Amino acid sequence: MNNYKLLTPGPLTTTETVKKAMLVDHCTWDDEYKQITVAICTQLLELAHASSETYAAVLMQGSGSFGVESVLSSSIGKQDKLLVISNGAYGDRMAEMAYYNDIKCDILNFFYNETPDADKVNAYLKTHPEITHVAMVHCETTTGILNDIEAIGEVVKTHNKIYIVDAMSSFGGVDIEVEKLEIDFLISSANKCIQGVPGFSFVIAKKSEIMNCKGRARSLSLSLYDQYKEMIKDGKWRFTSPTHVVLAFEQALKELKEEGGIIARNTRFSKNMSYLRANFENLGIKPYLNQEVQSPIITTFEFPKENFNFKTMYDFIKARGFAIYPGKLLNLETFRIGVIGEIYLEDIEKLTDVMAEYLSSRG
């Protein structure tokens, strides 16, 4: 067993009780197990502020990327065209998925430290009426930036386009009123802010749009419509589900509620992030993002000096109880630290002491 905490955007540090929930074997055909799936879907809709009359939650085997690709490859027809709004690697990944699935796609790029401009999106849609679907990432973990899905959503709906939001690392940690924002498809994952373990993603979507997916899927196993039609019967997954992961997620949902729900969890994450940024700035380590666009999920720091070595720092920090992330920027040497999961202010304080010790050891 490892003895360090994960300061990452998922997988993340989970509670002992979430881990223990996986110590039970379940049969996928068992009625008790299927009822757990039904209950999870109901709770996800509640967290999304989405009515069961209009929306459905569909669980999908695989990581978050499987869920995103399921939506893109199931919802976009051969005559349709996707616009991906990107300011990071995960927006770019959606465009790459479109390429692999032979989906017509344009990409509207913004700088990695810049949130997408609604006016520019509006102008693009005005001059490209062939666009039918628009997709973007809410919290882009390339940098930790939090994009304005409300402002972009207003533009998308003004043009009557289908709105797809990758809320992988934000759902459960940032309150998202899916129905109010008229999001057609929202995708997230079990091992992010709800604090479960990796193994499945989930899609919260308008039922009408799921029905429009019939016959469009480019993949058998990732067909969103077929997964939905099977799951709404009694909670049975089409193919073998990750039973232990589902049990862990059930427990994680209970613990989210006990903590006080999304608002309380957002408060904890936000305090962690503010404390982390302030402490590291005091050490002379500069955050890449301005505070006003910073998410409460993960942030990027610039290397404090040119001869700074990430691998050496990573090993030093890991030996003292924490695992962090390398940077993903191409033009700047950076590293990233996440504050979600079972992480509290005392953990940030300990990490700060470790980083100070490392900097001192480097002279």
pLDDT at 308: 80
When pLDDT is cut at 50, 70 and 90, the band that residue 2 belongs to is: low
3-state secondary structure of 325: strand
pLDDT tens-digit map of 123-165? 999 999 999 999 999 999 999 999 999 999 999 999 999 999 9
Q: What share of the chain is helix, strand, coil (3-state, %, to 5)?
A: 40, 15, 40
pLDDT over 60 (residue 1)? no
- The runs of H, that is alpha helices, within the chain are 16-20, 31-47, 64-75, 89-100, 118-127, 149-158, 207-212, 224-234, 243-259, 261-282, 310-318, 345-361
By the 8 A CB rule, do 355 and 304 touch? no
For residues 140, 255, 246, 164, the Cα torsion angle rounded to the nearest 10 degrees is -30
Closest alpha carbon to 10 in 180, 201, 276, 152: 201
User: Where in the chain are the domains?
Assistant: 5-9+261-361, 16-257
Domain 16-257, architecture per CATH: 3-Layer(aba) Sandwich (3.40)
pLDDT at 164: 98
3-state secondary structure of 157: helix
pLDDT tens-digit map of 57-111? 999 999 999 999 999 999 999 999 999 999 999 999 999 999 999 999 999 999 9
Here the tokens at position 247 are 């049990």
CATH superfamily of 5-9+261-361: Aspartate Aminotransferase, domain 1 (3.90.1150.10)
